[in-house]
Amino acid sequence: MKIPVSILILTKNEEKDLSGCLESVTWSDDIYVYDAYSSDKTVAIANEYGANVIKNPSFSHNILFGGNESEYRNWGLRNISFQYQWVLQIDADERVTAELAEEIGISVKVEVNIPFVAYRIQRRDFFQGTWLKHVQNTRFYIRLFQPDKIHFERLINPVTIVDGQTGELTGYLDHYPFSKGINHWINRHNKYSSFESREIYESQLNKEGISLSKAIFSESKQVRRFYQKKIFYKLPARPLIKFIILYFFKCGFLDGRSGFTYALLQCFYEYIILLKVNELNMNKSITK
């Protein structure tokens, strides 16, 4: 049975993962692959499954997300003519479980008086065949939404800003961030760290303030996370703190060796960001 929800999949050289992703959303008849000019078989696979392939003509091909992930995502939401009121946005290395698909179908029924304009979906991250039940960074993500009611902010790992109420679904979206191997994960996060360091550096230059009240008491989980991240980036020994939070406070040790390795990788990622911020500050001092 078809579910009246449009699917939006962001891709860049995803020939390894795209087929599995598309197989998990065959219940939709309105699928869009928003492609960043892939050089592999991604587009051919999308066409094989009957998906609509969309490309941003103003996109800078040589820079991740054209240099600004939020602008890239916002362009897709504003320029794709979705058939349905609701859109499910997923990545190629994610899979919609049958339980989640069923719950989505119930949640978007037109005859139901829905007070929400977006839903948070629970994601399960997997590494080395293990569900990172405790150590994964974030469990809930806003992925099901009415596209005219949301927009994204931040250069990378954007925050979803919702104009309206947000609900929560319990079905799982399964995520395989290491499907292309450790080398790919490290290379990708090296690129991410360049954007994160620039975001922090520019925030320091502009002397942007932080809001402890919003970080703790905001009704929006996404807003709380946004301000918590701002506070976190001002902490000393941030990489070590990240490891302690993930491995001990979140009980990442219960995820075994995979949990320990993942916590170390996240610690390493934060350390690279820290080094790049320091480098930007040093370069600024030299040019004065």
Residue 243 pLDDT > 90, yes or no?
A: yes
Domain ranges in the chain are 6-175, 182-287
Question: How far from 57 is each of 61, 78, 151, CA to CA, in Å?
Answer: 10, 14, 20
Whole-number mean pLDDT of the chain? 92
Q: Give residue 140's pLDDT band: very low, low, confident or very high (50, 70, 90).
A: very high
Q: What angle (nearest 5°) sits at the alpha carbon of residue 204, between those of residues 201 and 205?
A: 90
**What are the φ/ψ torsions at residue 246 (nearest 5 degrees)?**
-70, -45
User: Do the beta carbons of residue 240 and residue 267 sit within 8 Å?
Assistant: yes
Q: Give residue 47's pLDDT band: very low, low, confident or very high (50, 70, 90).
A: very high
Nearest to 251 by CA among 106, 97, 136, 127: 136
CATH superfamily assigned to domain 6-175: Spore Coat Polysaccharide Biosynthesis Protein SpsA; Chain A (3.90.550.10)
Report the alpha-carbon distance of residue 189 to residue 272 in Å, rounded.
Answer: 9
List helix spans (H) across the chain: 18-23, 42-48, 69-79, 98-107, 182-205, 212-217, 221-232, 238-244, 256-287
pTM: 0.92
**What are the φ/ψ torsions at residue 56 (nearest 5 degrees)?**
-85, 115
Which two structure tokens, joined as six digits, stand for 257?
A: 């060796």
Q: What is the CA radius of gyration of the chain?
A: 19
**3-class DSSP assignment, residue 259:** helix
Question: pLDDT tens digits, residue range 177-217?
Answer: 999 999 999 999 999 999 999 988 988 887 666 777 776 76
